[in-house]
């Protein structure tokens, strides 16, 4: 199917350099011909300096590829989006991210995305995450031309992925689903996708974590993750993601954990709120949202994920500051809940502000 999607076009392949992916790349080459460029030194949480160097490799081609193929996890797909937007000139992407002159020239190459993990949802969204570790910043490269023209979701490619990676990516999908509910951009379509996705993750991930080669469970997780991608492609993410970015940058917590361990706290923070958020959460967890938060915390604990910030080396003062700052970020502003209520359920007095305020 991938060779058919390429359709005889020249292509650049973005993937990992591990033996498993080399084997997949060889199979693709036998069916679709050799790629004009292979970029297989993709790192987790792709950093801006590495992306700039990798994007520069496109400039050395005699003719640019007609399509960029991403074969791998979220970091591969996000990186491929950067390369598609840059078209060999990372300065164009930098201008776009920083809203400088030249941003209007971004015209991404077509993309084909083949995810090999169930979680990121990047195969059905128009944005990619870029990390600037030196500056302690995270960017979101968002452009309507970055929706992949084809997303091939094959659960067979996910069988055998390590337990930790399976849990982390699965919880990323759960976060995407729930984040699209307590969200100012929520709508009936996003809610329907979110409910189906969250139910799928919660009923599947605990089983899959102990049965990694089960094809039926992999299929269910792949479906749930893609539905979560559809949900938050409508809304963007919200407060849990805004809170997660500095936790990943400063403390090295994997993204899927960083954006999910706070979910029970946030559920308590929206208890009593109405609208689509309450409707969606009740469809997933039942009417008692307070008890549902406890059940979710128990599920996370069963998966080996602590829900206490101190487990990740974050003291109380820093935690309060991080929660407070999360409301100021773009994703935090999508959150339907209140700063005061979230601080209160986190154990801080209502109305407390960060020390620098």
Burial of 271 (0-12, 13-18, 19+ CB in 10 A): middle
Assess whether 185 and 327 both reside in one domain: yes
Q: For residue 104, what pLDDT is reported? A: 78
Assess whether 76 and 178 both reside in one domain: no
Q: What tokens does 21 get?
A: 């992916």
Q: For residue 102, what pLDDT is reported? A: 66
Assess whether 82 and 173 both reside in one domain: no
In a domain, 356, yes or no: no
Assess whether 147 and 173 both reside in one domain: no
In a domain, 31, yes or no: yes
Assess whether 189 and 125 both reside in one domain: no
- Strand ranges for the chain from DSSP E: 11-14, 37-39, 67-72, 111-115, 127-132, 137-142, 150-151
The average pLDDT across 31-38 equals 98
Look at residues 122, 144, 151 and name the one whose alpha carbon lies nearest to residue 46.
122
In a domain, 225, yes or no: yes
Domain with residue 291: its CATH number is: 1.20.1090.10
Residues 51-87 have pLDDT tens digits of 999 999 999 999 999 999 999 999 999 999 999 999 9
Q: Whats the size of the chain, residue-wise?
A: 357
- Residue after which a domain boundary falls, among 126, 153, 180: 153
Those residues whose C-beta lies under 8 Å from the C-beta of residue 22, and which sit 6 or more positions away, are: 40
- Residue after which a domain boundary falls, among 106, 131, 153: 153
Domain of 302?
A: 163-345
Assess whether 329 and 261 both reside in one domain: yes
Residues 242-256 have pLDDT tens digits of 999 999 999 999 999
Assess whether 182 and 87 both reside in one domain: no
Residues 104-114 have pLDDT tens digits of 778 999 999 99
Q: Is the pLDDT of residue 267 over 70?
A: yes
Assess whether 171 and 96 both reside in one domain: no
Q: Is the pLDDT of residue 284 over 70?
A: yes
Q: Looking at the 3D structure of the chain, how many domains does it have?
A: 2
Q: Is the pLDDT of residue 296 over 80?
A: yes
Q: For residue 100, what pLDDT is reported? A: 82
- Residue after which a domain boundary falls, among 110, 127, 153: 153
- Is the model more confident about 200 or about 329? 200
Contact (Cβ atoms closer than 8 angstroms) between residue 125 and residue 180? no
In a domain, 350, yes or no: no
Q: For residue 287, what pLDDT is reported? A: 84
Assess whether 242 and 316 both reside in one domain: yes
In angstroms, the CA 356 to CA 106 distance is 38
Give the rounded percent of residues in the chain with a pLDDT score beyond 90.
89
In a domain, 87, yes or no: yes
The average pLDDT across 214-243 equals 97
Q: For residue 352, what pLDDT is reported? A: 47
- Read off the pLDDT band of 357 (50, 70, 90): very low
Assess whether 60 and 174 both reside in one domain: no
The average pLDDT across 195-219 equals 98
Q: For residue 350, what pLDDT is reported? A: 55
| Residue 166: C-alpha distances to residues 14, 80, 162, 194, 322 (Å) | 21, 22, 6, 20, 27
Q: What tokens does 269 get?
A: 């923070």
Domain with residue 12: its CATH number is: 3.40.50.1970
Q: For residue 103, what pLDDT is reported? A: 67
Q: For residue 356, what pLDDT is reported? A: 36
Assess whether 49 and 126 both reside in one domain: yes
Other C-beta atoms closer than 10 Å to the C-beta of 126 total: 17
In angstroms, the CA 106 to CA 109 distance is 10
Assess whether 195 and 333 both reside in one domain: yes
In a domain, 132, yes or no: yes
């Amino acid at each position: 199917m991938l060779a058919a999607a390429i359709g005889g076009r020249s292509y650049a392949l973005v993937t990992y350099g591990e033996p498993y992916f080399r084997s997949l790349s060889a199979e693709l080459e036998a069916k679709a011909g050799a790629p004009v460029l292979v970029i297989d030194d993709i790192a987790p949480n792709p950093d801006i300096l590495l992306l700039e160097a990798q994007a520069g490799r496109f400039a050395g081609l005699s003719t640019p590829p007609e399509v960029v193929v991403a074969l791998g996890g979220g970091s591969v797909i996000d990186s491929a989006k950067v390369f598609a937007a840059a078209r060999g000139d990372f300065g164009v992407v930098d201008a776009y991210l920083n809203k400088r002159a030249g941003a209007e020239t971004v015209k991404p190459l077509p993309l084909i995305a083949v995810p090999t993990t169930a979680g990121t949802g990047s195969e059905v969204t128009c944005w990619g995450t870029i990390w600037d570790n030196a500056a302690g910043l995270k960017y979101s490269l968002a452009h309507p031309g970055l929706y992949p023209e084809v997303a091939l979701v094959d659960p067979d490619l996910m069988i055998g992925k390590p337990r930790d990676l399976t849990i982390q990516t699965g919880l990323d999908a759960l976060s995407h689903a729930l984040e699209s509910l307590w969200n100012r951009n929520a709508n009936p379509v996003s809610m329907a996708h979110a409910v189906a996705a969250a139910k799928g993750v919660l009923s599947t991930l605990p089983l899959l974590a102990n049965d990694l080669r089960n094809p039926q469970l992999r299929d269910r997780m792949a479906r749930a993750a893609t539905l979560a991608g559809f949900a938050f492609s409508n809304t963007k993410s919200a407060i849990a993601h805004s809170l997660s970015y500095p936790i990943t940058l400063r403390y090295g917590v994997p993204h899927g954990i960083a954006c999910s361990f706070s979910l029970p706290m946030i559920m308590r923070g929206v208890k009593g709120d109405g609208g689509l958020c309450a409707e969606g959460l009740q469809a997933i967890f039942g009417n008692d949202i307070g008890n549902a938060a406890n059940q979710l915390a128990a599920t996370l604990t069963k998966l080996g994920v602590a829900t206490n910030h101190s487990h990740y080396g974050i003291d109380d003062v820093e935690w309060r500051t991080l929660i407070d700052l999360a409301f100021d970020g773009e994703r935090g502003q999508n959150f339907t809940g209140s700063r005061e209520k979230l601080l209160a359920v986190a154990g801080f007095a209502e109305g407390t502000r960060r020390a620098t305020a």
